[in-house]
Structure 1
Amino acid sequence: MNGAVETANKNIKKIIQKMVVTYKDWHEMLPFALHGYQVEIPSMRVLMEAKLIDAEWVKSRYDQLNLIEEKRLTAMCHGQLHQQRMKKAFDKKVKPRVFREGDLVLKKVLSFAPDSRGKWTPNYEGPYVVKRAFSSGALILTTMDGEDFTRPVNSDAVKKYFA
């Protein structure tokens, strides 16, 4: 039809742009824009039929997108429920470790140099004394002789020493 449908769509788009507040509610104004355009040009029945077919396609496409969005939200909700269940199961088994000043601890050996003892190399060294414990999980350790470590140690890298 020599671009008549495209021209009509362009005009309807202009009408909708003047009517909508946000881009999300364009589909609510589409019937009003089509009606206004139809009243404006009553002699172009063929064009109107083409536009109505176009509008029906837009509405069916919008319904399809809504259905896809609902499925996505449902899947996301199921995923979040699964994550919550997994977190709850994990948190049941986690024992909070609290270190206080004066506690004796063993520090994990984090040596990357090869040791001649092989698999018989000790995994922990110490005992050390907790000089200061921070709420973030960092610990300042001292040796039994009172020498401070230069850096704080993460509480994940230590375990309590029971004498």
Structure 2
Amino acid sequence: MEEAHSGICGAHQSRPKLHFQIKRMGYYWPTMVKDCMDYVKKCQACQFHVNFIHQPPEPLHPTIASWPFDAWGLDVVGPIAPKSSDGHSYILAATDYFSKWAEAVPLKEVKKENTSVSNNCNSSMYNAPANGLAEAFNKTLCNLLKKVIGRTKKDWHERINEALWAYRTTYRTPTQATPYSLVYGVEAVLPLESQIPSLRMAVQEGLTDEEHAKLRLQELEALDEKRLEAQQRLECYQARLSNAFNKKVRPRSFQVGDLVLALRRPIITTHKTGSKFTSKWDGPYIVQEVYTSGAYKIVADEDLRVGPINGKFLKRYYA
């Protein structure tokens, strides 16, 4: 088996191919299939150079928010080059899971003091789907900013409020409503409507103060119903996403004490991977702690701790 698998002319065949190769050479023993499978499974070279498993190991766990500002997704964009004219290099972005209302502030540096929040849940690093809402907003925000910044590209910190206004007043697919309307109960008055009066502006101009107050009260009374409808649409949207995602799931999990390999990039950042011949996996590591939703803390022999890491970036190691 060793010679056929990794000796002269050995190509580190997969388990079925190794069995076929040995059988073709005229050899046979009763446990040949099982022995070939066990041997290839423990091959060091095969374990460290095997391809990344793209199928997710866990079903999707969408964040459920039943009311505005019940839960927030936070993420840091950056470092951004070039820096802003005021020396900012990062953007701290936050998005409400229910209404999709977004906030963003430029930062010169990222510290615990200016990024810490209470009652937050950490997502495993380098796993965008674990914080999908924040990642989606980050992408949209960057796309908006790069289209409106000046030639020097250093005024992006001054254009954040414009980008936020555009995002808040734009229809969001999951709720089929704008974030502004779900927060305030009425659509925002756009600058264009002040220059070229729209129908609703023309109607409201003829109202008395008392009629304005009654109209606003009616809008606020209808807000709860509008939010309930948005919640139903959001739940249906998440269910469709979950069903599509879960069809691709290939279940795999680990227990405390298991030996695992971790994807070298982007999880392990202490090694450079410039060579095409560098192994795809690093380790072995020992699973030290198991978190919910398929995240793990792993530790190396030299007491190097990494985590939380999503299970999609781990594979079992056979000694």
For this structure pair, what is the TM-score category when the shorter chain's length is used for normalisation?
A: 0.3 to 0.5
Q: Which has the higher contact order (CA 8 A, sep 6+)?
A: 2
TM-score of the aligned structures, taking structure 2 as reference length? 0.25
TM-score of the aligned structures, taking structure 1 as reference length? 0.42
